Structure 1
Amino acid sequence: MRPVLARASVAVIAIGSLAACGGGPGTAKTAGGGDKKPSAHASVPAPLRRLAVPARYDTSRGWQLSGKQLGSYVVLPKSGALATMTSERSSGGYAYRLTVRDAVTGRVRWTGKPFKGLSEGEAPHVFVATAAGKEYLVTWSQGKKGEDALSKAKYAYAVDIYAADGSGEAVAPAHHVELPATAFEKAVTDGGEGLLVPVADQRRVAVDPATGRTTTYDTASIEPPACPACDDHLGNDIAAVTERGPVVANKGAGAFGIPGSWDGDRIAPAGVLSETGQVWPGTGGHLIARWTQKDFDHDVWAVLDSRTGQVQASVRCAKPPAPTADAPGSALSPNGRYLVSGHLAFDLRSKKGYCFEETDDSKPLSFDAATDDGTAYGTSLTKDSLTGTTAPVQLSLATGTPKALPGGSEVPVADFDGVGVFAHDEGDAPYLVVYRHKG
């Protein structure tokens, strides 16, 4: 499944996929870059582009960014802000700078101090992490450092963490963390209540974004609860970080849970093969889990409370011909009631779930944003799931019924704080356009 905030367009800054996304949920979208330092007091152009958008948005009110002001971007829904990371030429290559803008007005709240990544050939990555209900901007890069006349360079991660509610100009990160890395790049990801850094094949480091403190987990000596088949410790990993400790998983055995708290076998829905369980961090204190049903033709997807493992909503899906192992990204409506994750959509209050996986009769739908009134926006693939082009769709989470939007329409990649955020491309010219809700 595609991470919700991992979509890329034309880029001067080459950020790996929100996926990048690594990624996981909240990674950066790449939409262009520039060499000129953005002014913290520069005016933000009004939305000159009147896109064809759903009826709830007022195309006469809002703002837009393009060119040197844009770069890669992430949204901060709890903070009511958007952040961009742009590049500027400096001695020996490029330097990068974060700029955080108010989502409603587009005005700059703060700018970060210029910084460089560890690799001159690749831009740093940026994503949003949340801990204890507070948002943080995280940048990271990987490369070699420490070389001198006597010592060889060693691979390392450099992770910078910024509080989203900063102010001023040239803001330094609240925490700077450097950790060893393997020669083969693996992504730093948002693990839920902490960052996850894969420093070695059997070692993970969790970083608390609030304090910068690190906790090292040796996956060879920690295993999921209720997993007799995990005695050899092969395949054990840290899937997520929660307030109650790490979620430990073993993909081969299908086991996962928080040792001493809960386990996936106990909470697995009826009719599934417990040994097929998989789990990923979601947004807003949730986990996303998947099992294969005993008929082998269907999957069951569920949203879990990360603290207790309790199933908050689930849905039965047709099993796709070629399921991906990528971590599914997710997005919450601002009120926390509705959650979308690729082809899945859930109403957590009514405990309903909807699946729009590709079948023999239906095209696959993928959703990026959900509103407080229970409308989800996304796209349909018009051909097959590998080579098709997309068409805009919206979904009523009250009925579970999707509908196609008029051709040429654009749908928001995020909706919060009374605005919709649209990623628009005109040839090689990317734009970020923000429209307010009507009324």
Structure 2
Amino acid sequence: MRQKIVRLVLVGGVLVLAMLLLLATCGSGEKSSDKPKKRAKASAAPVTQLTVPSVFATEHGWELIGTSPDYALSRTTGSLAYLVRVSDTKYQLRTIDSETGEAGWHGESWRPPSPQHFPRLLPVTVDDHEYFVTWSYGKVGENALTPADTIVSLDVYDVQDGSRRRIEVPWNSVPTVTTTGPGILISDGRTNSAVVDPVTGRVSEITAPALKYPKGCKTCKQLTEVRGLTKKGLLVSGAKEFWVQGGWFSRNVAPKGTDRLSGIPTSVVPGLVLAKWQLAKGAKRAATHDLWTVQDLETGKPLASVECSKPAIKPGQYPQLVAAPSGNFLVAGPLAFDLLTKRGFCFEGADGTKPLTLASVNDEGIAYGAANARNAADVLAGGGTPVAVAIRSGTTGALPSNQRIPGAVTSDGVGLFRWTDEKDRSHLIGYPSAN
């Protein structure tokens, strides 16, 4: 397997020989053009049949055992990436075809700076080229004594062939790592951040003075926080407004009928931001409702909005935006958005009580969630009463109480389900569409 490693490269004759032996028996991170792909299912045993919505065929599919909590999907190749523990201190990234379960390329095993926990896993796209990124935070060596000895360790894999680049970024506080734009954003949750180019490995550090605070914004330097990355620069929020470095400013793109100085970004996914706005003073429901809007991350343009009562979401944690593979449908807590028709929905009672919590959505606009659940994690763990929602019509249907909800549905209609067995092993199962 080809590797590009920043700061540290270990290549020797013994390693090359070992890799040749591994390639002869298990396949490599590079795809060979003169040999057919080895057709191996993700699990040799029959797939466990869970109780799930009837649109999924539980008698077919694939199953992974003992995988990482995270997985990542490629929209161009259909590959699903996941991590496995190969020893007490080492991990390996592997891939399968998300539709068939056929094994794909796998990376070399490596030791992250925090080997007691699975590294995190994210996808990132740069100029329509996709990468899988694993990251971990911890000490450089066993004898590290100061914050300067801690790093964010990144391994960036080309989705096509598994070639790897390692990047190590010195970091002296607990990091937040996201991939909402054309790069990897490392943030301290406040004003300091670094952007890593997955292609070159170049690291650009950005401090508070470089955030380009908008003129006339009195609250932009209050509770300032870096939220995401766009092609133009960082998405940043203050106490009441938000902006993109050298790009757009929230008060200039505020949705109609809102207080232009009240925007708060609550969740960011590639290309999109979900923002909460107060209704304009004097509006009929200004005291009881907020306007939730999905906006284009590059321009700030509002794409779809819906009013939702304040008690349904606040106080509490803001809902996380989840997109269908196509990006045309999105859900976040009780909210759902159809970007094709530019409509938004808030699934709650007439008095703002008993809101639904939606956790996943497919390319047909069918969302899955539960009533009376605390959040999306609670839904996927079996909390609440399961429901399915047809976003285009806004209709809701109850599901049997014992059914599990998919954590995601791929572009091919494969539902991804999690469960934990009696040995406390995590299982990830892919059931194809029954149609």
Normalised TM-score (structure 1): 0.78
Aligned-residue identity in percent: 31
2:72 to 70, 75, 82: 75
Match of 1:403 in 2: 397
Distance (Å, rounded) in 1 between the aligned partners of 2:97 and 2:62: 11
Listed one character per residue, the Cα deviations across residues 60-83 of structure 1 (whole Å, up to 9, x for unaligned) are: 2211122x4x33341314031222
Question: Which structure has more RCO (C-alpha within 8 Å, separation ≥ 6)?
Answer: 1
Note if contact 1:332-1:338 (Cα within 8 Å) is conserved in structure 2.
Answer: yes
Per-residue deviation, 1:317? 0.9
Cα deviation for residue 354 of structure 1 reads 1.1
Contact 2:42 2:63 survives alignment (8 Å) = yes
How far residue 402 of structure 1 moved from its aligned partner, in angstroms, is: 1.5
2:134 is equivalent to residue 135 of structure 1: no
Larger % of helix: which?
2
**Contact 2:83-2:94 at 8 Å conserved across structures:** yes
1:51 aligns with 2:41: no
* Equivalence for 1:13: none
What are the Cα deviations for residues 353-375 of structure 1, in whole angstroms up to 9, with x where unaligned?
11236885642322232222221
Distance (Å, rounded) in 2 between the aligned partners of 1:219 and 1:139: 27
- Give the 3-state SS of the residue equivalent to 2:252 in structure 1: helix
Specify the SS of the correspondent of 2:211: coil
Partner of 1:35: none
- Structure 1: 5+ residue stretches without partners: 1-37
Distance 1:258 1:379 in 2: 35
Alpha-carbon offset, residue 304 of structure 1: 0.9
Q: Which residue of 2 aligns with 1:241?
A: 229
State the Cα distance separating 1:346 from its structure 2 match. Answer: 0.5
- Displacement of 1:291: 1.6
Give the C-alpha shift of residue 438 in structure 1.
2.6
Partner amino acid, structure 1, of 2:200: T
Structure 2 residue 157 is matched with structure 1 residue 158: no
* 8 Å CA contact retained: 2:232, 2:246: no
Q: What's the CA shift string for 1:179-229, capped at 9, x where partnerless?
A: 22224x232222333221126954211122233222222223424435431
Confirm or deny: 8 A CA contact 1:224 1:236 kept in the other structure. no
Q: Which residue of 2 aligns with 1:290?
A: 276
Secondary structure (helix, strand or coil) at the match of 1:49 reads coil
- Alpha carbons of structure 1 residues 85 and 362: separation in structure 2 relative to 1, 3 Å: same
- RMSD across aligned positions (CA): 3.2
CA distance in 1: counterparts of 2:148 and 2:373, whole angstroms:
49
Select which of 286, 292, 302 maps to 1:311: 302
Distance 1:434 1:282, change over 3 A: same
Does residue 107 of the first structure (1) align with residue 102 of the second (2)? Answer: yes
Native 8 Å contact 2:148 2:170 kept in 1: no
Q: 2:427 corresponds to which residue?
A: 431
Counterparts in 2 of 1:4-403, with a 5 A limit?
43-45=41-43, 47-66=46-65, 68=66, 70-78=67-75, 79-89=77-87, 93-145=88-140, 154-167=149-162, 173=164, 175-183=165-173, 185-198=174-187, 202-230=191-219, 233-250=221-238, 252=239, 254-280=240-266, 282-293=268-279, 294=281, 295-320=286-311, 323=314, 328-356=319-347, 362-381=353-372, 389-403=383-397
Contact in 1 for aligned 2:357/2:376 (Cα 8 Å): no
Q: Please name the residue that 1:7 is paired with.
A: none
Find the aligned partners of 2:189 and 2:309 in 1 and give their Cα distance.
36
Between the two proteins, the alignment pairs up a number of residues equal to 388
Report the 3-state secondary structure (helix = DSSP H, G, I; strand = E; otherwise coil) of the residue aligned with 1:269. coil
Say whether the 8 Å CA contact 1:75–1:414 is kept in structure 2. no
SS in 2 for 1:191: strand
Q: Aligned partners of 1:204, 1:383: CA distance in 2, in Å?
A: 31
| Alpha carbons of structure 1 residues 429 and 96: separation in structure 2 relative to 1, 3 Å | closer
Give the match for residue 25 of structure 1: none
Q: Shift of residue 272 of structure 1?
A: 2.8
The Cα of 1:405 is off from its aligned counterpart by 0.6
CA distance in structure 2 between the aligned counterparts of 1:372 and 1:81, rounded to whole angstroms: 17
* Higher-Rg member (1/2): 2
Tell me if structure 1 keeps the 8 A contact 2:181–2:230.
yes
- Normalising by structure 2, we get a TM-score of 0.79
Residue identity matched to 1:71: S
Q: 1:309 to 1:336 in 2, by over 3 A?
A: same
The answer to whether the 8 A contact 1:146-1:153 is kept is: no
User: Per-residue displacement from partner, 1:323-369 (whole Å, max 9, x unpaired)?
Assistant: 36757433332333212223321000111111236885642322232
Distance, in Å, in 1 between the alignment partners of 2:46 and 2:401 is: 21
**Contact 1:97/1:111 (8 A) holds in 2:** yes
Find the aligned partners of 1:56 and 1:322 in 2 and give their Cα distance.
Answer: 30
